[in-house]
Structure 1
Amino acid sequence: MDNEYKRYYIKIRTILGINPKTIHEELATALGSKAPSYPTVAEWAKRFREGREDVNDDPRFGRPVSELTDENIELVREVINNDLHSTYDDIIAETFLSHGTIERIIHDCLKMKKITSRWVPHQLTDEQKQKRVKLCRENLAKFRDGSWRLCDIITGDETWIYHRQIHRKSTNASWVGEDESPTTIVRRGKFEPKNLFSIFFKSNGPVLIHAVDEGKTIDHKYYIENCLEPVVKEIWKQRKSAGTKGIILLQDNARPHIQSDVINYLTEQHINIMSHPPYSPDLAPCDYWLNDYIKRNLTDQPDEKSLARAVSKVMKKIPKEEFKKTFDKLLERMELCINNHGDYFEYLIK
């Protein structure tokens, strides 16, 4: 739909007394990403309320409208700098340049492209970024000088898993025939059943898959008795001669994980603790790989017991190479964190 037709629509709806917000919503529903922005709709609605009849752009005398002049380039740059989310319609409304001229200025002269904003887990402070860099350097140094080995790392975390699975939009896409309606997926309700799991693994596979008792919360006592003690027992089972010697535990900074009794227990068991910076799911294998992997491969389960069995089955089916690969990626991620000055780096991963 050309700008002229969009403005005719805005004009008619404005004459009928419809407010700009509703007009914008209607256009967005009909045109999607091709709809004019709300500021553009509001500006044209204001003009029509004030008696404007013409839906075409006003000519701006003295400025070439189709040439790549320095003046026009700076004009477009200024509009974009003032609003990084501005659309072509916004820029046209501000500059009165043609769509083609603006497109050439943006791509050929300013060398810019529009990409989706990236989501980050936390707005890191400079101090937090510095700490991420510091800990990554310290941890990497121990692997490089041979003090630590990737095969000796055990990592674990807690995650909530719903009985009913809702996968990403891309995995829910399905083919439909002509005149057929798309399938529907019901959004989860606030109180849908879910269970908390504590899962630990090494580079050769699972170490512990623990379904937390319903109604229980994980405090430091529960964490030691139901998570760490079974993990230590499994280590001794797998490494009868070496036991916990050289074992490194990577866990996040949740309160039960760093409580003094927990630290004392790990020290008594001769388990090294890998320092983990706060607000760093991008440096935790459970967060950047395992939890999502499990949930993607689960089907709906009727109750707690069947869910626990299903989670265990998914874990045991993961090839050993995948476990090893995720620890190799941990070193790469530490490097990326350092190179990106402690800021989140996942957008740099190809």
Structure 2
Amino acid sequence: MDNEFNQYYIKIRTILGIDPKTIHEELVTALGPNASSYTTVTRWAKRFREGREEINDDPRFGRPVSELTDENIELVRQVISNDPHSTYDEIIAETSLSHGTMERIIHDCLKIKKVTSRWAPHELTDEQKQQRVQLCRENLTKFQTGSWRLCDIITGNEMWIYHRQIHHKSKNASWVGDGESPITVVHRSKFESKNLFSIFFKSNGPVLTHCVDEGKTIDHNYYIENCLKLVVKEILKQRRSADTKGIKLLHDNARPHIHSGVINYLTEEDINIMPYPLYSPDLVPCDYWLNDCIKHNLTDQLNEKSLARAVSKVVKNIPQEEYKKTFDKLLEKIELCINNHGDYFEHLIK
């Protein structure tokens, strides 16, 4: 069956008031792989609704469809080089090549594909990259020589969690019938209810899940009294001993964390601080794993109390094996940071 037949069928069905989706399904049922694509059906149905009578394709100008010449290959290369975000339609408009020829040039000749742009937390300077490499090498050496153990690392950080959850687009997808509208998901406003949590964990599970009091901010005193002291208490309980010898704390460089009062308190408790480079959320398990894990498993909550209970439950229900895997990945990430010369490395993770 040729295009003329497809377009004639689309015209008749459109005149009868049949929607493009149904027309495309009928063509697929009758013609299988020879049916016009849904995009083509939609385009022709629109033309016929607007009063078009002709069913033949419009005459094409420019280069023949089959022209896989060096000139055309270089032309496509230049268009993509000038604008790496170019769409297929924009490349076709620039080159006057057919869609099929353009696709063959891109995939078969240039052997390139379009991928989502890589987002980075910060534009690292050379000095910051060097610091990342230096600290990662020092930390990795201590693990490799056995002077540090993953089971002695406690990591923690703060995170804001909203009462209303908005998940990734794939999770928000829903089945709808003919004529039904998809569920609407409203973007959050900056005034929506949320609470700040401080969460600490080890390779064998959670240590502390603390919901910061409403209206409070975490300064160094709050951090010591309401977070670190409870962490130390839980460590002693889990160890069933009277000391914290060998324990290392991995947290970021937020101001309360690096305050002299916090450093002095940790020193008194015989807890060492694991060196952490600036702008490195990719090297802290809370940032590269736990935040998303919690938010992915949360449901909407009515108030602060129910949110605190829900977050605590999610953290406790994460299998111990997942905590262990996360700390094993920490070593992998440290090595990736070194191998990538201190630059961000998420795009290298398979």
TM-score by length of 2: 0.79
Q: Distance in 2 between matches of 1:296 and 1:260?
A: 36
The 8 Å contact of residues 65 and 100 in structure 2, kept in 1 or not, is answered as no
Q: CA deviation at 1:82?
A: 1.0
The match for 2:335 is 335
Unaligned 5+ segments in structure 1 are 3-30, 36-54
Partner in structure 1 of residue 167 of structure 2: 167
- Structure 2 counterparts to residues 97-108 of structure 1, below 5 A: 97-108=97-108
Moved more, 307-316 or 91-100: 91-100
Partners of 1:181 and 1:109 lie apart in 2 by 42
1:243 aligned partner: 243
Q: How does 1:257-268 map to 2 (within 5 A)?
A: 257-268=257-268
**How many residues are matched?**
298
> How far has the Cα of 1:344 moved from its partner?
1.7
Which residue in 2 is equivalent to 1:48? none
The 1:88/1:167 distance shift into structure 2, 3 A limit, reads closer
Q: Secondary structure of the residue that 1:158 maps to in structure 2?
A: strand
Residues 127-178 of structure 1: per-residue CA shift (max 9 Å, x gap):
2222222211111111000010000000000011111222221112121222
Q: One-letter code of the match for 2:67?
A: E
Deviation of 1:58 after TM superposition, in Å, equals 5.1
Q: Would you say 1:119 and 2:119 are equivalent positions?
A: yes
Contact kept in structure 1, 2:62 and 2:97, CA below 8 Å: no
SS in 2 for 1:89: helix
- Give runs of aligned pairs for residues 1-350 of structure 1, distance below 5 A: 59=62, 66-241=66-241, 243-350=243-350
Report if the CA contact (8 A) 1:162-1:192 is conserved: yes
Across the aligned residues of Structure 1 and Structure 2, the Cα RMSD in angstroms comes to 2.3
Deviation at residue 80 of structure 1 after TM alignment: 1.3
Change (3 A) 1:172 1:91: closer
Give the SS at the match of 2:107: helix
Whether the 8 Å CA contact 2:163–2:300 is kept in 1: the answer is yes
Alpha-carbon shift at residue 56 of structure 1 (Å): 6.4
Q: Is the 8 A contact 2:244 2:271 kept in 1?
A: yes
Shift of 1:242: 6.1
Find the aligned partners of 2:100 and 2:301 in 1 and give their Cα distance.
54
Q: Alpha-carbon deviations, 1:18-73, whole Å to 9, x = none?
A: xxxxxxxxxxxxx8xx99xxxxxxxxxxxxxxxxxxx866547xxx7743332222
Amino acid at match of 2:190: K
Q: Which amino acid aligns with 1:133?
A: V
Structure 1 counterpart SS, 2:324: helix
Any unmatched runs of 5+ in structure 2?
4-38, 44-57
Which structure 1 residue ranges, 4+ long, deviate > 6 Å from structure 2? Answer: none
Matches of 2:345 and 2:119, distance apart in 1: 11
User: What amino acid is the match of 1:113?
Assistant: K
Alpha-carbon distance change, 312 to 88 in structure 1, aligned in 2, over 3 angstroms: closer
Q: Verify the 8 A CA contact 1:65 1:96 in the aligned structure 2.
A: no
Cα 1:76–1:251 change in 2 (3 A) is same
